[in-house]
Amino acid sequence: MDECDELRNPGLPVPPAPVSPIAAVIGVVLREGDVLLVRRANPPDAGKWGFPGGKIEPGESVQAAAAREIAEETGIAARALQVLTAVDAFDRDEQGQLLTHYVLIAVLCEWKSGVPQAADDALEADWFAIGTLTSLDIAMSVNVVSVASMAAKGRTSCRSSHRP
């Protein structure tokens, strides 16, 4: 169907535009056995707890994007250490139609300074003990527990590899 068909036959359903994946980061910030989480204000996962993050700006490195998003959403200064993994986040309408597809690059980060203060598109920001994530009675984004556990193991590996 082209534009002329729509003009000749108003009311016909217009096929959905193809959705391209969008590259974004999530900053997995660790501090003494805790992980930094935010309660998201916007889709996907509005109202759920997850990692601070967002879209990578043109010309911005993955590490710089993670540090920037953490600062924007929480006021925390963090140092990006390494990429942990990538996860998909899909936002769908009530009929199941795909609206957006984010490829979230999880970046292990080290807390440098600051106290979590929700800002930008975060409703709340706080530290959570990694060992208690599975027992918390809060709505979390998919993969939060597994990515946080992976980060804790990765951080331990980083520490042990730097010991003499």
The identity of residue 44, as a single letter, is: P
124 flagged as catalytic? yes
Q: Which long-range contacts (CB under 8 A, 24 or more apart) does 33-36 make?
A: 33/129, 33/130, 33/131, 33/152, 34/127, 34/128, 34/129, 34/130, 35/127, 35/128, 35/130, 35/133, 35/148, 35/151, 35/152, 36/70, 36/74, 36/76, 36/111, 36/116, 36/125, 36/126, 36/127
Catalytic choice (6, 57, 72, 124) = 124
Please count the CA atoms within 13 angstroms of the CA of 10 that sit on its side-chain side: 1
Tell me the torsion sign for CA atoms 46, 102, 147, 82.
Answer: negative
Alpha-carbon distance of 21 to 17, in angstroms, equals 13
- Catalogue the active-site residues: 124
